[in-house]
Amino acid sequence: MPGKVKCIGILTGGGDCPGLNAVIRAVVKDAVQNGIQVIGIRDGCRGLGDKHMAALGPGDGSNILTLGGTILGSSNKDNPFHLIEKDKSGKIHYHDRSRDIPKNLRRVGIEAMVILGGDGSMTVANKLSHMGLKIIGVPKTIDNDLMGTDQTFGHDTAVSIATEAIDRLHTVADSHHRVIIVEIMGRYAGWLALRSGIAGGGDIILIPEIPYDEKKVGEAVLERRRKGKKSSIVVVAEGAHPKGGKMVVDRINPFSAERIRLGGISRQLAHHLEAKSGVETRSVILGHVVRGGTPTAFDRNLATLFGVQAMNLISKGQFGRMVALRNNRMSSVPLVQVGGKTRKVPANHELIRAAKSIGVSFGA
């Protein structure tokens, strides 16, 4: 039997999303029930270097189930193995500060850590695990693109928010007989655009996994008009791109672990579509709005299950693993199988087949 862990640390890394606080709540409440102290690490991995940590008591796990974001703060810029620092002249330097982490944790008595995050955070978690630290990962991302789990918390809420936005845009498009192109986050995977596009009644859905033909997108719009449909909704993932073309990059952020920031494909496509078809076209970029607000009931339940499963793994001494939902059951996978990989939509996914069966175009 593994020795009982008496003190754990918990941090939220990467971008925020609904459900983070629900996981924190579950971990704290479970730990309190079992006499385990919990220390919150502020602002993601930055807190590991700054020694910015504070104990979380029973009260810290109360009344946060419905809150979006994270009470611990987060950061997607502070990889302790490749930390970006500026000197007095403004010159950028990269440093490996990971060697300071074990002593910082020992200083406050942390014996094991629960790390909530996406692929970048899981990559860091895996490296820390290989350093001998006791690490449990919890999968978080609205994009649902993390390997090893069928779903991540935060995704269902983002789908619901994006769907509501698409619902509202139908009336605008109908009133003015326009095409409205709705751009949705998701990076290099199309889960968010696909699910919200179908739920919101999108007429054309464009995702990274299916490069589109601009001519066929235009033909789909014109065919709808010939059938008496005066408006069309195009749902496009930020990582979608035409055949033979590239994803549209909004900017490069050298200070972020995720340097490439996608964005703008909807504007580019709107200009092209209007010029070629003559149909008035507008673009809407939902952006970060889909990442905020109150988590859905599904995400609250999933986050709670993940938090409790993380504590179960700690009690069993099963470290170096990420909790997961697989075949509708709680499970876990080795961290080495997760970080740095992207779970994309399979070309034969049942949602794609269903969408095509009801006349949705993928521009291919």
CB 283 within 8 A of CB 133: no
Is 43 an active-site residue?
Answer: no
Give every strand in the sheet of 53-56, ordered side by side: 53-56, 37-41, 7-12, 112-117, 135-139, 321-326, 329-334
Q: CA–CA separation, 206 vs 232, rounded Å?
A: 13
Return the closest-CA partner of residue 305 out of 30, 82, 57, 26: 26
* Helical residues (DSSP H) of 80-154, grouped into ranges: 101-108, 119-130
Q: What are phi and psi of 98, to 5 degrees?
A: -65, -30
Per annotation, catalytic residue among 78, 143, 145, 203? 143
Return the closest-CA partner of residue 213 out of 186, 245, 250, 179: 245
CB 61 within 8 A of CB 25: yes
Q: CA–CA separation, 28 vs 308, rounded Å?
A: 9
Q: State the pairing for strand pair 37-41/53-56.
A: antiparallel
CB 172 within 8 A of CB 321: no
3-state SS class at 159: helix
CA dihedral sign, ordered 341, 343, 180, 219: positive
3-state SS class at 351: helix
CB 351 within 8 A of CB 197: no
Task: Kindly state the tokens that stand for 322.
Answer: 């990420």
Q: CA–CA separation, 350 vs 258, rounded Å?
A: 30
Residue type, 300: R
**How many beta carbons lie within 10 A of that of residue 127, not counting itself?**
18
Catalytic residue set: 143
